[in-house]
C-alpha cells in the first residue's frame, strides 16, 4: 500500500510539473490566434517593448503544422495608426532576414556600434505607416523549422495565411490600405504574393471567414524580377555606367561574350521549363556575370565601393547579429534563448537555385495587378550592380500590359524631393512607375534615408513622385 501510494503521489507530482511547464511556456505568449480556414496555421503573439517604445508592437511566430515557424515583428505608425496604411516588408536573398532592413534601412531603430542597444531612426518608414517585418521562408533570420521551402509560390501561401489570421484578430488594421514592399529577391516574392491576395480577394466570399485585404500597391527596390532581361545589362553596368568602368577592358570583353551564352541558357530554361535547364542557367549566369566582378574586389551592392567581402563593406551587419543574439532581446521578442540568429542563410539560396526558381521570371504577375488597379512602383539605386537600374529600365519597358505604349512613350522626369533636392528620375504611366535613385546602392533607405522616406510617403498617399 505504501509503495502504491508513493507511485500515485509521484504520478500526481509529475502531472503537476507538466501542467506548470505548459503554463510557463504558454505564459510567454500574449495570445494564440487561429483561423477556421487555416487549421494548420496559428500565430503566437507577444507585445515587446524594444526599438521604438513610442508605438504599439507585436512580435511572434506563424506556426505551420509544427513544421515551419515564421517570425514577424509589427510596429504601429508613429502618426495616425488607426488611419495610416499597413506595410508588409519582405527582404530577399533568398535567405536574408527582414531584420536586416529593420535595423539597417527603414525600421524604427538602428543597432549601436557596441551591439548592445538601439538608436532611434527619424527617417523610418513607420513615420506614417504601420509595418510588419517578416522573416521568410523557413530558416531565415529568427524563423526555423524542418520543412524547407525552395520555391516562391509555396512561400507565398504561408504569408497569405499569416495576413488572414492577423487581420482577423486586428480588424481595425484590416480596413486600412495595404502595401507590400521589399528589395532584391523579393522581386520574386512580392508579385506572387500580391497575385494570390488579388485572386483570393475576388473569391473570398466562397471561403468562410476570409477577410478582404485592401491591397493598394506593391513597391520593389532593386528587385530580381525578370532575369532574362536583367542579365543582359550586367556588362553595361560593369563597364559603361555613369560611375565609370569597374572592370578592365579584357574582362569586359569576356563578360559580354559570356553574357550571350547566359541569355541563351535562360531562354532554354523558359522554353523547356525543365528544372535541370533552369539550374544550369542559374549556375552559369551567376558564375559568369557576378564572379569576375567580385574577383575584382568590387561590392556587388554598390559599384562605388571596393571590399574583400560583404562583412567588410557592411560591418554594421555584425552589430545587428550581436544585438539579435542577446538573450534579453530574444526573450522579449518570443524567440528561444538558445536560438542563434544569422543575417543570411546561404543554404536557402542554394535550395531555390536547385529548384530552378531563382532564374524564373515573376513579372508575369504584374499585368494582372495593374489591370485590377493595384499600383506598382519599381525603384532602383543607380549604383547597385546586383540588380542594376539599367536592367530595371529595360524590363519595365518590355512588360506587356494595357499601358505598354503609354509607359514607353513617357519620358523620364526629374524627381525633386520635398527638400528641393534633384534625387532621381521617374517614368510613370497610370499605376506603373519606375524610379531611378541617384547616388544609392542596393539598399536605398540606408544610402538615401531622407529621399527614400520622401518617395515612400508620396507613393503610399497617392501623390505624384
Confidence (pLDDT) at 8: 39
Secondary structure class of 272 (helix, strand, coil): helix
**Beta strand spans in 153-232 (E):** 178-183, 215-221
- Angle at Cα 358 formed by Cα 445 and Cα 263, nearest 5°? 105
Pairing relation of β-strands 432-437 and 375-381? parallel
Confidence (pLDDT) at 403: 96
Residues with a catalytic annotation lie at 184, 384, 442
Burial class (CB in 10 A: 0-12, 13-18, 19+), 322: middle
Query: CA–CA separation, 141 vs 154, rounded Å?
Result: 18
199-237 burial, b if ≥16 CB within 10 A, otherwise e?
ebbeebeeeeebbebbbbbbbbbbbbbbbbbbbbbbbbb
| Residue 312 in grid coordinates | 567588410
Residue whose C-alpha is closest to residue 174's, from 189, 184, 164, 182: 164
**Following CA atoms 312, 317, 319, 320 in sequence, which dihedral angle do they give, to the nearest 10 degrees?**
180
Secondary structure class of 229 (helix, strand, coil): helix
Right CATH number for 1-465 from 3.40.50.1820, 3.30.70.60, 3.50.50.60, 3.40.47.10? 3.40.50.1820
Mean per-residue pLDDT pooled into runs of 10, the chain (465 residues):
36 36 53 89 95 96 89 97 97 93 97 95 97 94 83 82 93 95 95 93 72 96 96 96 93 96 96 94 95 92 84 84 95 94 90 89 96 98 96 98 97 95 97 98 96 97 93
Confidence (pLDDT) at 386: 94
Confidence (pLDDT) at 208: 66
Amino acid at each position: 500500500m505504501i509503495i502504491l501510494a508513493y507511485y500515485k503521489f509521484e504520478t500526481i507530482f509529475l502531472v503537476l510539473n507538466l501542467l506548470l511547464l505548459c503554463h510557463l511556456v504558454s505564459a510567454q505568449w500574449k495570445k494564440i490566434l487561429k483561423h477556421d480556414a487555416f487549421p494548420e496555421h496559428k500565430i503566437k503573439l507577444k507585445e515587446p517593448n524594444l526599438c521604438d517604445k513610442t508605438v504599439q508592437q507585436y512580435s511572434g511566430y506563424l506556426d505551420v503544422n509544427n513544421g515551419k515557424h515564421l517570425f514577424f515583428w509589427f510596429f504601429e505608425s508613429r502618426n495616425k495608426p488607426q488611419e495610416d496604411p499597413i506595410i508588409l516588408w519582405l527582404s530577399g536573398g533568398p535567405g536574408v532576414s527582414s531584420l536586416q532592413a529593420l535595423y539597417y534601412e527603414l525600421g524604427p531603430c538602428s543597432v549601436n556600434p557596441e551591439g548592445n542597444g538601439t538608436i532611434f531612426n527619424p527617417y523610418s518608414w513607420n513615420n506614417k505607416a504601420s509595418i510588419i517585418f517578416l522573416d521568410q521562408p523557413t530558416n531565415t533570420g529568427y524563423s526555423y523549422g524542418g520543412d524547407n521551402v525552395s520555391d516562391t509560390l509555396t512561400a507565398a501561401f504561408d504569408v497569405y495565411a499569416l495576413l488572414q489570421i492577423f487581420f482577423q484578430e486586428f480588424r481595425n488594421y484590416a480596413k486600412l490600405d495595404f502595401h507590400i514592399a521589399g528589395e532584391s529577391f523579393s522581386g520574386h516574392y512580392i508579385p506572387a504574393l500580391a497575385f494570390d491576395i488579388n485572386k483570393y480577394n475576388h473569391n473570398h466570399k466562397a471561403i468562410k471567414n476570409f477577410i478582404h485585404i485592401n491591397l493598394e500597391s506593391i513597391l520593389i527596390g532593386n528587385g530580381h524580377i525578370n532575369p532574362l532581361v536583367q542579365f543582359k545589362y550586367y556588362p553595361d553596368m560593369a563597364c559603361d555606367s555613369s560611375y565609370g568602368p569597374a572592370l578592365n577592358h579584357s574582362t569586359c570583353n569576356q563578360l559580354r561574350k559570356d553574357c550571350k551564352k547566359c541569355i541563351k541558357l535562360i531562354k532554354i530554361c523558359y522554353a523547356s521549363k525543365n528544372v535541370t535547364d533552369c539550374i544550369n542557367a542559374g549556375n552559369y549566369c551567376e558564375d559568369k556575370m557576378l564572379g569576375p566582378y567580385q574577383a575584382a574586389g568590387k561590392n556587388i551592392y554598390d559599384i562605388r565601393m571596393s571590399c574583400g567581402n560583404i562583412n567588410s563593406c557592411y560591418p554594421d551587419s555584425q552589430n545587428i547579429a550581436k544585438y539579435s543574439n542577446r538573450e534579453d532581446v530574444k526573450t522579449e521578442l518570443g524567440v528561444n534563448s538558445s536560438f542563434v540568429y544569422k543575417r543570411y542563410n546561404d543554404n536557402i539560396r542554394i535550395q531555390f537555385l536547385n529548384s530552378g526558381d531563382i532564374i524564373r521570371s515573376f513579372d508575369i504577375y504584374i499585368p494582372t495587378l495593374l489591370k485590377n488597379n493595384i499600383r506598382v512602383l519599381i525603384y532602383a539605386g543607380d549604383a547597385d550592380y546586383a540588380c542594376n537600374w539599367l536592367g530595371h529600365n529595360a524590363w519595365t519597358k518590355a512588360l506587356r500590359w494595357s499601358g505598354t505604349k503609354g509607359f514607353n512613350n513617357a519620358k523620364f522626369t526629374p524627381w525633386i524631393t520635398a527638400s528641393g533636392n534633384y534625387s532621381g528620375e521617374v517614368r510613370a504611366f497610370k499605376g506603373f512607375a519606375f524610379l531611378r535613385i541617384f547616388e544609392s546602392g542596393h539598399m536605398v533607405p540606408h544610402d538615401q534615408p531622407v529621399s527614400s522616406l520622401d518617395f515612400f510617403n508620396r507613393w503610399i498617399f497617392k501623390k505624384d513622385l
